[in-house]
Amino acid sequence: MDFYRASYGIDEPPRGHIGDPLFPRDIGPFGQGAFIRAARDGGALEQVMGQWGLIGWFAKSAVPPRKPGRGGPILTNNARMETIAEKPTFRDPWKRGQRCIIPAWSYVEPNWESGKNQWWRFRRADGQPWGMAGLWNTWTDKETGEVVESYTMVTLNADHHPLLNRMHRPDPTRPDTMQDKRAVVPLVPSAFEVWLRGTIEEATAALQLPDVEAYNAGPDQPSLLAADKPGRQDPEQPLLL
């Protein structure tokens, strides 16, 4: 219990992650996972279970509609920091300061250096859990009255990061120095409080990609991926454990 109090300010293990028998595999897009936010009364932190894929106030359903002419739904699992204050799904939660921390013992990213996708798993080099920068929202189904919590992970450009710029499929239409490779943002523990309760300016300044030495990263064991389940396709976003 002291470990979770010191790491996240909560008294119980993060739910939906490692050690929880209900979640033996990684959490994929629109799956249920845990996030941590400041309680609405301004007091202690609270741990919430929600959908990984933010639901905007205007949404007609919890899962976004499919893209025209394509098979998958519109993904809201990640929010680009450069446009987070503009996009309809994210701008109101961002302005209201609805920031959260997403606990994860590891996550995976696609590496295409071989010409095909090889999932790489990212852990902290010191063996501790990540605390990912996120944004949350509460949505109410207008037809049923059901209240649904949801969250998204904030991403930054990683073109100049010597490790993270190796992830994701290269864009042949862009030069090597302008690929716009995206990376989720693990916060250092000292930035947790600022991210959750600081001003927009303070929270923005806290978003920094860790140095290479902070990561323990390498090719993953395919059997651990939720995407390996029958009938599942490789997601376009990282998976969480």
Predicted confidence at residue 137, as pLDDT, reads 97
pTM: 0.85
Contacts of 115 (CB under 8 A, 6+ apart): none
User: What Cα–Cα distance (Å) separates residue 170 from each residue in 160, 181, 182, 204, 221?
Assistant: 14, 8, 11, 27, 23
User: Can you give the residue ranges of every domain in the chain?
Assistant: 2-240
Predicted confidence at residue 232, as pLDDT, reads 36
Mean pLDDT per 10-residue segment, the chain (241 residues): 66 57 68 88 84 94 78 86 96 97 90 93 90 96 94 96 94 83 94 95 97 95 48 44 49
Predicted confidence at residue 223, as pLDDT, reads 46
Predicted confidence at residue 165, as pLDDT, reads 94
**Six token digits for residue 64:** 């976004």
Predicted confidence at residue 22, as pLDDT, reads 46
User: What Cα–Cα distance (Å) separates residue 90 from each residue in 104, 111, 134, 154?
Assistant: 22, 28, 11, 10
Q: How far apart are CA 101 and CA 60, in angstroms?
A: 26
Q: How far apart are CA 135 and CA 184, in angstroms?
A: 12
CATH topology of domain 2-240: hypothetical protein yedk fold (3.90.1680)
Predicted confidence at residue 226, as pLDDT, reads 45
